[in-house]
Structure 1
Amino acid sequence: MKVPPSTDTVDVSVQRVFPVPAERVFDAWLTPRLLGQWMFGPGVRDEKVLRLDVDPRVGGRFSMLVERGGQRIDHVGEYLVIDRPHRLSFTWGIAGESDQDGSRVDIVIAPTPMGCELRLTHALPRAWADYADRTQQGWAHMLGALHALF
């Protein structure tokens, strides 16, 4: 029996090829010093990194606090899967706003002859469907900054 796709979420996907081994790309997701160079901070957008706390274990949480446009934004989540260097999954939200709404990011990294390919899928709750394009553009921009880091 074929199971129909879930209508509870809207999936946003982004892919990127990197000229480095999968381990280096994977580790960039869990190392605060690196996160501050490609995911957040003045090298990525007009913002200031205030704090990057990462507890990289299944069940561990992260908090990435930035100041953007005079507003403090705390990106939070919990690690659900950590399978270095192949797979990483975590919840994603803004503390106090969308941190309990079921948003999930799944990352699959596969080796290629010249490095690796990363495939990111962000499952947004249906209530956030209007933000799908903006979310996809945001992840594409961040993955571009990650690529530039290597």
Structure 2
Amino acid sequence: MSAAQNVQVRVTRQFNASPERVFDAWLTPETVGQWMLGSNVRDEEVLRVAIDARVGGKFSFFVRRGGVEIDHVGTYLEIDRPRRLVFTWHVDTEADELSRVTVEVTPRDTGCELTLTHEMDAKWADYASRTEKGWATMIDVLAPILERG
């Protein structure tokens, strides 16, 4: 995936939670299963969430959606708690279709700001708005989970 051929999707949200809590929500299987996957986000059943939270470690978010089993997988490229998380992202059936997600968390007076950038090959340009909406929905689900503690 060369930078000249990338499409970027960006989502930014404010959180009334510490940068550490927001960052950790990306690496804790129980929390990921509440805001990124499952019935809180879309009509799907979470079958497994596996996270090896280290640089070079892998994740697998395995769900059943519409009778189809889907495994979202990736590898952690950077983990700089609580500031920056970078990982690859793809569906296991499309192993050659890697995209890259960067999550940046910046402290603010009343919490923090999260900026997610999802870079994908230009051939996925028609899916950019759908991808942006998907991430926005997931991140919007995360806010009340963190506020509840």
TM-score tier after normalising by the smaller chain length: over 0.9
What residue in structure 1 maps to residue 28 of structure 2?
Answer: 31
Cα shift readout 1:89-145 (whole Å, capped 9, x = no counterpart): 000000012x32230000110000000000000001111111000000000000000
What residue in structure 2 maps to residue 68 of structure 1?
Answer: 65
Q: Which runs of 5+ in 2 are unaligned?
A: none
What residue in structure 2 maps to residue 149 of structure 1?
Answer: 145
Equivalent position amino acid for 1:136 in 2: E
Alpha-carbon distance in 2 for matches of 1:36, 1:135: 19
| Structure number having the greater helix percentage | 2
- Tell me the percent identity: 54
What residue in structure 1 maps to residue 48 of structure 2?
Answer: 51
Q: Which runs of 5+ in 1 are unaligned?
A: none
1:109 aligns with 2:105: yes
| Superposition RMSD in Å | 1.1
TM-score (norm 1): 0.94
Alpha-carbon distance in 2 for matches of 1:54, 1:71: 22
What residue in structure 2 maps to residue 136 of structure 1?
Answer: 132
Alpha-carbon distance in 1 for matches of 2:98, 2:66: 26
Alpha-carbon distance in 2 for matches of 1:114, 1:14: 19
Alpha-carbon distance in 1 for matches of 2:85, 2:61: 17
Aligned-residue offset at 1:12: 0.3
